[in-house]
Chain A
Amino acid sequence: GAVVSQHPSWVICKSGTSVKIECRSLDFQATTMFWYRQFPKQSLMLMATSNEGSKATYEQGVEKDKFLINHASLTLSTLTVTSAHPEDSSFYICSARPGTSGDNEQFFGPGTRLTVL
C-alpha cells in the first residue's frame, strides 16, 4: 500500500527555536497533503491543507506565521514550527492524498512527537 514517512519521529527543542518536520509520500505523488495535531486523548485536529505549488490553507485558529507549511514537490511537505514554546508540544501527523479527487483516500504518516522545553 501507499507509504507516508515523517522525519523526525520525535524531537526535543528549547523554547524560542524553530523545528522543521518533513512528510514524504514514498511510492506515490501527493497532490494534497494535510497536517494534523493530536493532543493526548483527543482527536486529530486538522491544522492546514497544502496543495503542491500553492499556499497552504489554514484552519480557523491556526496561526499561519507560527506553523509554516511548504509543499514544494509532489512527494514532500514540510511543517516548520517557528519560535516554538511549550504549548506547541504535541503530536503532529501528516497525511497525503494522491490525485485530485477529494474522495481519494488519505494515507497517514506515523507522526512526530514535539517536546518544547
Chain B
Amino acid sequence: GNSVTQMEGPVTLSEEAFLTINCTYTATGYPSLFWYVQYPGEGLQLLLKATKADDKGSNKGFEATYRKETTSFHLEKGSVQVSDSAVYFCALTQWGKLTFGTGTQLKVEL
C-alpha cells in the first residue's frame, strides 16, 4: 500500500533560519503530493501541492518539488518566522484518498 515517511520532530529553529523537512513516499503510479500545516487548535490546512513529477508547489515562502526519481517531496523555506511554528504533514493522494506522514512539529524561536 501507499505510505509516507517524514522526519521526526520536533525541529527547533531560530527565526530567519533555513528550514528543510524531509518527506519520502511509496506509491504505485503517480500520486499527487501535498504538505498540510496544522496550527495549534486549528484544523489541517493545505499549504502546497504538486500533481506531477518536477512540479514545484509554493505558498507563503514554502516550497517543495515533486522528485519522482527519489520519491521525495521535501519542504523548504529560506527564512522561518515564529508564526511558522506548527505541525507539518506530508501526504499523498490516490483514488481520492489521502495518506499522511506522521507529522513534524516545527518550533521557531526568537
Chain B, 73-110, contact with A by CB distance < 8 Å: what is the 0/1 string?
00000000000000001000101111111110000000
The number of residue pairs between A and B whose CB atoms lie closer than 8 Å in the complex comes to 45
Interface size on A, residues (CB 8 A): 21
In this complex, how many residues of chain B approach chain A with their Cβ under 8 Å: the count is: 20
Whether A105 touches B43, Cβ cut-off 8 Å, given contacts A46-B98, A49-B97, is no
Main secondary structure of the interface of B (DSSP, over half): strand
Q: Would A44 and B89 be within 8 Å (CB), given that A109-B43, A111-B43 are in contact?
A: yes
> What separation, in Å, do the CA atoms of A106 and B95 have in the docked complex?
13
Q: Name the one of A4, A42, A102, A103 contacting B43, with C-beta atoms under 8 angstroms.
A: A4
Most buried by A among B32, B44, B102, B103: B44
Contacts of A103 in B (CB 8 A): 32, 93, 96
Could you list which residues of chain B lie within 8 angstroms of chain A, going by C-beta atoms?
4, 32, 36, 41-46, 89, 93, 95-103
